[in-house]
Amino acid sequence: MRPLVSALLAAPLLLAPLRSGTLLRQKLVAVDGKKAEPGEPGSDCGQARHVIPKFAKAAKVGALSGSARAAISNANIAAEAATISATKAREVGSTIGKPESIETAAKAAEEAATSATAASTSLQTGLDTFKTKVDSSEYAGADVEQADMDTLQKLIEEAALASKDARASALHLAGKTKEAAAKATQATAAAAGTAAAIVKEAEPALEKAAELAQKAKWAATDATALAEKSKAASGKVTTAIADAKEQARVWEALQADLDAQAAGVTEAEGEVTKAIPELDAAATELKAKIAPLQKASAAAAGGQAMTSETFSTDVTAAEEAQDKVDAAFLKVRSEVEALTKRMDGLMEKLAEVEKKLVA
């Protein structure tokens, strides 16, 4: 009896897989909208071969939709990144003289960002149309044609390419910005050296010009006083001539020499007086011309980039102003030396005259 009982107990277990499979087939048939006929348990009426391909297509449609959503997100991110890169690059450019290389790369990045945004928008529109067909199908994606999938795939590829271009343009812009900043640093160092050299030459020149101008004014004042003194002495000689009789010609020669030398001092004093304003004007101009270079040099010393777009012109103007100061300085010094020599001669002659008048 025991073998028979065991066989009976095992029978349900042996039949279980068959029943399970039958239920699965019944579910598949039910999904397809057709029920198994009564008396045909486990029969799918041949519907499974139709349902399974529909499920496979639904999976393919879903994967394509997911790829589209990812492409849209990537395109938007790439567009935003390129736009931000352009803004930041221009900010850097504004501190180093707005180099053309940065502006060109920034415009390219903005154009790439615009293209990525446009591609994202087109893909979103295509995806919306695609989803409408998917949602209207009895089975998800059943009514979607291959042409619809090909169209969406093309839009995905276009968006992916636009994203790639936007990211590449942002990287290119970053490289150009870094390159321009490095060049600006080098240019700043060179320009700072030039500016410092010009300022270094100009500042002591201005001090010397001021000192010479003052000395020249003092010399002119002394020359005027000496000429007046000589004039007074000449008047005394005129009186002496009237009383000299046979010595009259000696006094006349002495007076003529005194008056001639006095006239020479007055003439030289006039040249000095005329040259002083020219030196003052040249010095004033030089002060104004080196001011931008002093500012640029100080900025460079503080670590700032040289941003003046007129730096080259400023350098030329300062050099020309320096030349004017040098020329005016030499002229004043020459005139003062000539005046001093004439004053020395006049003082000797005046001393001689005064000595003779006392005798």
For residue 27, pLDDT over 50 is answered with: no
DSSP character string of 55-94: HHHHHHHHHHHHHHHHHHHHHHHHHHHHHHHHHHHHHHHH
| pLDDT attached to residue 26 | 44
Mean pLDDT of 110-115: 96
What pLDDT, in 10s, does the model give residues 257-273?
999 999 999 999 999 99
Long-range pairs for 329-333: beta carbons < 8 A, 24 or more residues apart: 329/205, 329/208, 329/209, 329/212, 329/279, 329/282, 331/275, 331/278, 331/279, 332/212, 332/213, 332/216, 332/272, 332/275, 332/276, 332/278, 332/279, 333/212
Examine the pLDDT at 63 and tell me if it is beyond 50: yes
Token couple for 31: 């999904």
The Cα 314–Cα 91 span in angstroms is 25
Average the pLDDT over each of 2-11, 55-64, 179-188, 310-319 and give the range with the smallest value. Answer: 2-11
Query: Where is mean pLDDT largest: 23-27, 138-142, 183-187?
Result: 183-187
The 10s digit of each residue's pLDDT in 148-178 is: 899 999 999 999 999 999 999 999 999 999 8
Model confidence band, residue 34 (pLDDT cutoffs 50, 70, 90): very low
Crossing angle (nearest 10°) for helices 100-136 and 146-244: 160
Q: What is the pLDDT of residues 73-87, one digit of tens each?
A: 999 999 999 999 999
Alpha-carbon gap, residue 44 to 34, rounded angstroms: 8
Kindly state the average pLDDT of the residues 120-133.
92
Weakest mean pLDDT among 9-13, 140-144, 233-237: 9-13
For all residues of the chain together, what is the average pLDDT? Answer: 82
pLDDT at 86: 94
Task: Using alpha carbons, list the distances in angstroms from residue 213 to 64, 198, 204, 272, 282.
Answer: 89, 22, 14, 9, 12
Task: From residue 111, give the alpha-carbon distance in Å to each of 106, 132, 202.
Answer: 9, 32, 49
Sequence-distant (6+) residues with CB within 8 A of 183 are 99
241-268: average pLDDT? 90
Residues above pLDDT 70, as percent of the chain: 80
pLDDT tens readout for residues 195-230: 888 999 999 999 999 999 999 999 999 999 999 999
**pLDDT, position 138:** 63
Instruction: Record the pTM.
Output: 0.56
